[in-house]
Amino acid sequence: MTATLIKGKDIAAQIRQEIQQQVDKLKAEKNIVPGLVTILVGQDPASQSYVRAKQKTSHELGYHSIQETLPTDISEDELLKLVKKYNQDDKIHGILVQLPLPKHIDENKVLYAIDPDKDVDGFHPVNVGRMVIGEPGFLPCTPYGIQQMLIRTGVKTEGAELVVVGRSNIVGKPIANIMLQKQPGANATVTICHTRTKNMAEHTKRADILIVAAGVQNAVTADMVKPGAVVIDVGVNEIGRTPEGKRKLVGDVDFEQVKEVASAITPVPGGVGPMTITMLMLNTLQSAQRKA
């Protein structure tokens, strides 16, 4: 048996079409354009690439889009003043500060300064709290995208044994909280594994749905996967460069072996990655709709 590929690129394209329809409707009926500002501090190549992709997508969808590129030595106070400026700007519905920030700036202080109603990354403690208790708010983009992938590929989550490998604040903890909610597309029995978990394979082999966000190549091998499981690989690990200079990427799952055991699996690249920016756009749209 070879697993079906869950192609995030295709699902993301479908969601973007739906977003575009809602953007056009919001413009026509309310004369409101979703507004997103992305704030980049410094010259980190990976961060520059991520911000370019976010700006490109927002322009394609017709958003009011602003890019703030700031010098590495900007002071924390100056950055906080800029965040406050956009908190008060009625044309901006989403504020994203690209991480990581330089070491002299307190990341939490900056993230917590963002108006929770414009926190389209879903990192503010207010939105984290809303997520945990199941109240409406902004869900972190990568976990939100994972849930949408499961829903839109018809994976049964209710009552499913779902195991998460990884406990980061960006993926592991949020996806665990999202998937245990008593809501459609969730309602799973959730286990979290991490670096101190004993006999990890005993947990992963129970999983009907296995979500791997460990940040380690081949963290999950075929002997750790239940036959017929759905495997979502969140990992992105660079293993070299092509002769053309492009990055060679693999996930956290031994893809070639696990695809022969699983019923469905996400590839890397082309799996979870394309969903993250799309859910950022959806959060920004929803922010604008709430303001309307």
Q: For 61, which DSSP code?
A: T
Q: For residue 84, indicate whether it is catalytic.
A: no
Residue 158: which region, alpha, beta or left (left: phi > 0; alpha: psi -120 to 50)? beta
Q: Which residues of 205-232 are buried (b: 16+ CB within 10 A; e: fewer)?
A: bebbbbbbbbbeebbbebebbbeebbbb
Q: Are strands 237-241 and 247-250 parallel, antiparallel or unpaired?
A: antiparallel
Instruction: Count how many Cα atoms sit within 13 Å of the Cα of residue 4 in the half-sphere of its side chain.
Output: 11
Angle at alpha carbon of residue 273, lines to 17 and 127, rounded to 5°: 80
User: Got the DSSP string for 116-167?
Assistant: GGG-TT--SHHHHHHHHHT-SSPPPHHHHHHHHHHHHTT---TT-EEEEE--
Cα distances (Å, whole numbers) of residue 286 to 19, 44, 58, 262, 281? 10, 30, 14, 35, 9
Instruction: State the residue for tokens 């893809």.
Output: 255
The one catalytic residue in 117, 119, 121, 208 is 121
- Catalytic, 121? Answer yes
Residues 6 or more apart in contact with residue 7 via CB below 8 angstroms? 266, 267, 270, 271
Catalytic (active site) residue 54: yes
- Cα–Cα distance for residue pair 113/102, rounded to 1 Å: 17
- Residues annotated as part of the active site: 54, 98, 121
